[in-house]
């Protein structure tokens, strides 16, 4: 067994919807990169999850490629990790079915994200949207995952994955690892620029609400200039002033400086100066990512090679796990070997 396989397994995914933005970087991608050495890591472009909302095929295809290149540009290393596309590994959908048969509908009806998305997509409340958290559990449990780095909003989905693992193990034997969430202490919830009481979202219709990883310095400046701040002009973190607190949080995470030191540096200065400096900070941070992104986008054969190798590795691992699952449940084992004659 290789050294790599002995490390605990980490798995995470982002669905190709909207535009990858700074909240995704801070809540998820940055932690993928920070943890990739200590874990046997799998990073998945969860394209089947994206089908739960209506997609235009050419746009989806383009976005899938862009997302993969952004993962790489942010520092996810294909030589140290398995990077693959969910739809390339049939085991995810197969395990989904099995887990579906162990999931009471009531548990899915309670899911906050389902309730929210049922409101925002009233004309398309489909089975996939309802089943979304079970597919996420399948992604995780299929590889014996121990750690799942995600933002705060995914806590409830992860709890379902844990419950399903425990329920399956209690009935059929010790097959699944019960996964732990890894939720960053700071930056687990970056808020919207125009409405700092709600989460920054990459599929927000109002682009002014988020800083996309591919935004130009000019666009960042415009968005920050229009970002809602609160009455008064002091640069202070205060739960009652969510606008300025969110911007302080962003500044602190990207410059890796504790919030109180940022507050000290801006003592007596105004919002205008702070926003200008935050523009510089974000543009300076995103510039190199955008440069690497452009290089990866110009190398389709390299991306294809990563995906081919990633899918082959993930398929092999998932097939081994599915055999164990089928065996434990009393399904006839798949017979390997050549057909006679
Ligand atoms: P989503 O944008 O919902 O597809 O989420 C992709 C990943 O980014 C998940 O791990 C989320 O928890 C994380 N994430 C999404 N929005 C935010 C946010 N505003 N702040 C922090 N993390 C986020
Ligand atoms: N539901 C997650 C999100 O919206 C994406 C996701 C799908 C995921 N499968 C996963 C995250 C497995 C972690 C592990 O962000």
Q: Return the domain boundaries, the chain.
A: 3-186+299-329, 207-295
Q: Average pLDDT for residues 246-275, to the nearest whole number?
A: 95
Partners of 228 in beta bridges? none
Q: Looking at 117-126, 207-216, 257-266, 316-325, which range is the least confident one? A: 117-126
Q: Looking at 61-75, 184-198, 258-272, which range is the least confident one? A: 184-198
Note the ligand closest to the C-alpha atom of 201. Answer: 1
Looking at the chain, the whole-number percentage of residues with pLDDT higher than 90 is: 87
Contacts of residues 110-116 at CB distance under 8 Å and 24 or more positions apart, as own/partner, are: 111/156, 111/157, 111/160, 112/156, 113/153, 113/156, 113/157
Would the CATH topology of 3-186+299-329 be identical to that of 207-295? no
Per the residue annotation, which of 117, 275, 305, 324 is the catalytic one? 117
Residue 1 has pLDDT above 60, yes or no: no
202 noted as active-site residue: yes
Looking at the chain, the whole-number percentage of residues with pLDDT higher than 70 is: 96
Q: Which residue, chain included where needed, has tokens 């970087």?
A: 25
14 lines ligand 1 (CB under 6 A): yes
- Whether the full predicted model's pTM is greater than 0.85, yes or no, is yes
- Contact between 208 and 223 under an 8 Å Cβ cutoff? The reply is yes
**If 0-12 CB within 10 Å is exposed, 13-18 middle and 19+ buried, where does residue 328 land?**
middle
CB proximity list for 257: less than 8 A, separation 6 or greater: 251
Q: What pLDDT, on the 0 to 100 scale, is given for residue 5?
A: 56
Q: What pLDDT, on the 0 to 100 scale, is given for residue 152?
A: 84
Q: Looking at 43-52, 63-72, 121-130, 179-188, which range is the least confident one? A: 179-188
Rounded to the nearest angstrom, the distance between the alpha carbon of 290 and the centre of ligand 1 is 20
Question: What residues does ligand 2 touch, defined as CB less than 6 Å away?
Answer: 11-15, 46, 49, 136, 139-140, 148, 150, 154, 157
- Contact between 3 and 182 under an 8 Å Cβ cutoff? The reply is no
Q: What pLDDT, on the 0 to 100 scale, is given for residue 141?
A: 98
CB proximity list for 76: less than 8 A, separation 6 or greater: 29, 32, 33, 36, 43, 83
52 lines ligand 1 (CB under 6 A): no
Hey, which of 151, 183, 202, 252 would you mutate to test ligand 1's pocket, going by the most ligand atoms within 8 Å of its Cβ? 151
Q: Average pLDDT for residues 8-33, to the nearest whole number?
A: 96
Instruction: Give tens-digit pLDDT for 277-334.
Output: 999 999 999 999 999 999 999 999 999 999 999 999 999 999 999 999 999 999 997 7
Mean pLDDT, rounded, of the chain: 94
Residue 3 has pLDDT above 60, yes or no: no
Output the furthest CA–CA distance in the chain (Å, rounded).
Answer: 86
Atom 12, ligand 1: residue with shortest CA distance: 151
Residue 187 has pLDDT above 80, yes or no: no
CB proximity list for 166: less than 8 A, separation 6 or greater: 178
Q: What pLDDT, on the 0 to 100 scale, is given for residue 333?
A: 78
Hey, which of 20, 27, 245 would you mutate to test ligand 1's pocket, going by the most ligand atoms within 8 Å of its Cβ? 27
Taking the CB of residue 287, how many other CB atoms lie within 10 A of it? 11
The CA distance from 330 to 91, in Å, is: 18
Residue 114 has pLDDT above 70, yes or no: yes
Hey, which of 150, 155, 165 would you mutate to test ligand 2's pocket, going by the most ligand atoms within 8 Å of its Cβ? 150
Q: Looking at 43-52, 58-67, 112-121, 291-300, which range is the least confident one? A: 112-121
Residue 4 has pLDDT above 60, yes or no: no
Q: Which residue, chain included where needed, has tokens 């739809």?
A: 87
Atom 8, ligand 2: residue with shortest CA distance: 13
Which pLDDT band, with edges at 50, 70 and 90, does 338 fall under? low
279 lines ligand 1 (CB under 6 A): no
**If 0-12 CB within 10 Å is exposed, 13-18 middle and 19+ buried, where does residue 138 land?**
buried
Q: What pLDDT, on the 0 to 100 scale, is given for residue 2?
A: 53
- Contact between 46 and 314 under an 8 Å Cβ cutoff? The reply is no
* Secondary structure class of 243 (helix, strand, coil): helix
Note the ligand closest to the C-alpha atom of 19. Answer: 1
Q: Does CATH place domain 3-186+299-329 in 3.90.550.10?
A: no
> How far, CA to CA in Å, does 84 sit from each of 105, 132, 164, 195, 292?
30, 19, 24, 35, 19
Per the residue annotation, which of 199, 269, 305, 324 is the catalytic one? 199
Instruction: Give tens-digit pLDDT for 54-107.
Output: 999 999 999 999 999 999 999 999 999 999 999 999 999 999 999 999 999 999
Q: Which fold has domain 207-295?
A: Tyrosyl-Transfer RNA Synthetase (1.10.240)
199 noted as active-site residue: yes
Contacts of residues 291-299 at CB distance under 8 Å and 24 or more positions apart, as own/partner, are: 292/72, 292/73, 293/66, 293/69, 293/70, 293/72, 293/73, 293/213, 293/214, 296/68, 296/69, 296/72, 296/73, 297/65, 297/66, 297/69
């Amino acid at each position: 067994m290789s050294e790599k396989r002995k490390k605990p397994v980490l798995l995470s995914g982002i669905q190709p919807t909207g535009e990858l933005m700074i909240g995704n970087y801070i809540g998820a991608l940055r932690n993928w990169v920070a943890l990739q050495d200590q874990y046997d890591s799998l990073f998945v472009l969860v394209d089947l999850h994206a089908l739960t909302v209506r997609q235009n095929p050419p746009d989806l295809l383009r976005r899938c490629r862009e997302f993969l290149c952004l993962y790489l540009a942010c520092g996810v290393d294909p030589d140290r990790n398995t990077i693959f596309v969910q739809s390339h590994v049939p085991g995810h959908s197969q395990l989904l079915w099995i887990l579906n048969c162990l999931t009471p509908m009531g548990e899915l009806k309670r899911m906050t994200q389902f309730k929210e998305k049922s409101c925002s997509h009233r004309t398309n409340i489909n089975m996939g949207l309802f089943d979304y958290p079970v597919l996420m559990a399948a992604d995780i449990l299929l590889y014996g995952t121990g750690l799942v780095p995600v933002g705060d909003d995914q806590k409830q989905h992860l709890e379902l994955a844990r419950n399903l693992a425990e329920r399956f193990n209690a009935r059929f034997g010790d097959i699944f690892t019960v996964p732990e969430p890894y939720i960053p202490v700071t930056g687990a919830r970056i808020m919207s620029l125009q409405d700092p009481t709600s989460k920054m979202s990459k599929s927000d219709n109002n682009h002014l609400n988020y800083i996309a990883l591919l935004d130009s310095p000019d666009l960042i400046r415009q968005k920050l200039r229009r970002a809602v701040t609160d009455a008064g002009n002091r640069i202070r973190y205060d739960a009652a002033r969510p606008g300025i607190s969110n911007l302080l949080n962003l500044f602190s995470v990207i410059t890796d400086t504790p919030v109180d030191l940022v507050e000290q540096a801006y003592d007596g200065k105004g919002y205008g100066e702070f926003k200008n400096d935050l523009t510089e900070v974000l543009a300076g941070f995103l510039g190199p990512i955008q440069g690497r992104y452009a290089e990866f986008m110009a190398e389709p054969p390299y991306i294809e090679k990563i995906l081919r190798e990633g899918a082959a590795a993930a398929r092999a691992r998932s097939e081994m796990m599915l055999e164990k699952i089928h065996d434990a449940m009393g399904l006839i084992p798949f017979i390997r070997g050549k057909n006679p004659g």
